[in-house]
Chain A
Amino acid sequence: MAIELAGLSWNPVSDLEQLTEFPFMVQALEAGTIVAVMAGAIGWFMVLRRQTFAGHTLSVIAFPGAAGATLAGLPIALGYFGVCGIAALALSQVSRPGRESPSSESAAIGTVQAFGLGLGFLFVTLYSGQLSDLESLLFGTFLGITAAQVQTLLGVALAALALLAVIGRPLLFASVDGAVARAAGVPTGALALAFLLLLGLAVAATAEITGALLVFALLVTPAATAQQITARPGAGLAISMALALAVTWLGLGIAYFSPYPVGFWVTSLSFGLYVAVRLLLGVLARRGPEPLGALA
């Protein structure tokens, strides 16, 4: 590796001791773990449901929410969760089937996204005009997590994962086979709303750590990679969560010893994993007729 990792001894035990020497680092690891598990699980369903655009919208809207909360003197978390919750409700109204064509719908949402980013920029400028605030809202505050934030995140993640576990199977049914699920009595409309709210929670929680723009490193990339690897629902979910955890831990670890920011490392690692898996599967597909027979 060309990059110099200052202080890294290459001795796992002493390096781990170094990593956990400061409370801010322990809290970053705790928060990262919570958020990675939550984003990995909810992101897997998001990719399966083809709602990455909705996820993107929620993450962009999270930025003016947080900036507005800062300006109004409210806790940033309130801004993230409040705005993401409202946006999830609004999205569920816009994206009702048969309402408008998907393209005009996405154009309308795109317009709102741009306006949201503009508003967020205004709020940050009004607040103090300091670039560091803007940067942390957009690209994350991995190393500024407090113990109280970790506790809130843990509560939110446990509630979200419990709800996901309860609605998991009907949600899977509704996601891959909506018409049949509806005819079989699955409340597909209520599930769609519940999932968007879960997605809002996941985006808000992730944005608190990774910033509004890097949410996707944990929400989309691990899930998309997992779906490349396996078509088994259970295994896919587990792999998605494991990959999100791996890139978070590795990203935090590498960033601690390097001069470059955590957000960069987490996104690069998850991107690298995705590319590597695609290439590997491509090579395997060219070799045998059904390489996924055993895996898939």
Chain B
Amino acid sequence: MSTQATTSGAQPAGQQEAGEAIRLGGATAKRGGHPVWSGVDLSVRQGEFVAVLGPNGSGKSTLLHVLLSLLPLSEGTATVLSGPPGSANSQIGYLPQRRGFDSGTRVRGLDLVRLGLDGTRWGFPLPTRISARGRAAARRVEEAIELVGASAYALRPIGALSGGEQQRLLIAQALVRRPRILLLDEPLDSLDLSNQGAVAALVQRICKEEGVTVLLVAHDVNPILSYLDRVIYFAGGGGVEGTPREVITGPTLSRLYGVPVEVLETSDGRLVVVGTPEPPAHHHPRHDHGH
């Protein structure tokens, strides 16, 4: 796990372990000519729930963009489901970072989930009851909505729902194609603490029940700590990956940030990172109506 740029030593895409969903070898990503992170090696196995952590601007979302091939790596290799990024996008459910739908968005939650299933197909959909394909699609949409527990409000306009309700429907949208990988960019950001825990528990249940690999970008690890298998931590132009207890430690983070950093554990098991050069990312709960 080096934080230095490497040009060679990257593993060819073929040498992927069985059961591995994502691998980066000596990877460097640049935006506007400047490296966001470099020399990153990481490996995520199928069915793991992984948090992507780090301060603002450390390249958390950049990782998701690389995996979706929205941004090519400038050095190193990336493998997603045993192919190059982009080759398996139909098997990836993606939830981008967003501020939510405003109240003027007059489309039902159900329609949004349905678009996740067949929104890329050309043409105009026939009414659901007419075609067999339409009936199958409607059933799958219903299943996905049930899985996230959003049946009670899926028929209301998405703009009229609370942040937590919107987030559940968006997760259903990302899930509706039965993806093997879920990439969730700050899905907890606009939620209050209790909803953060509820959505994290939901994501973990889906991860285990459906065997989906989940990468979840988060500002604060504590609300999701108990649900995680592994974490990827970006800081200081590099990134490390491992179990939360391996990565969120003073020595590992000190090496990553390049300055002495301490990790304190509170009596209730919360982790507090102290001494980072940039102000640590705080969670700002916005008001979110409960269910």
Interface residues of A (CB under 8 A from B): 48, 165-170, 172-173, 176-177, 179-186, 227-228, 230-234, 236, 290, 292-293, 296
Contact = CB atoms under 8 A, between A and B. Distances in A.
Contact of A177 (B89, B112, B121): B112
B107 interface: yes
Chain B, interface residues (CB within 8 Å), range? 20 to 34
Nearest to A224: B106
Contacts of A184: 89-90, 94, 116, 119-120
Nearest to A237: B124
B122 A169 contact: yes
Contact of A185 (B89, B112, B158): B89
Contacts of A186: 119-120
Nearest to B68: A183
B123 interface: yes
B155 interface: yes
Nearest to B107: A176
A227 B104 CA distance: 9
A180 B96 CA distance: 7
A170 B119 contact: yes
Nearest to B64: A183
A296 B155 contact: yes
Given A183-B94, A184-B89, A234-B127, A169 B107 contact: no
Interface string B108-143: 100110011011111111010000000000000000
A170 B121 contact: yes
Nearest to A295: B155
A111 B222 CA distance: 51
A168 B124 contact: yes
B85 to A, nearest CB: 12
Contact of B119 (A165, A169, A234, A292): A169
Contacts of B108: 231-232, 296
B124 to A, nearest CB: 4
Contacts of B101: 176
A168 B123 contact: yes
B234 to A, nearest CB: 20
B173 interface: yes
A273 B105 CA distance: 21
Given A292-B157, A296-B156, A180 B116 contact: yes
The 8 closest A-B CB pairs, nearest first, are A173-B119, A179-B96, A231-B157, A168-B124, A227-B106, A173-B115, A183-B94, A231-B106
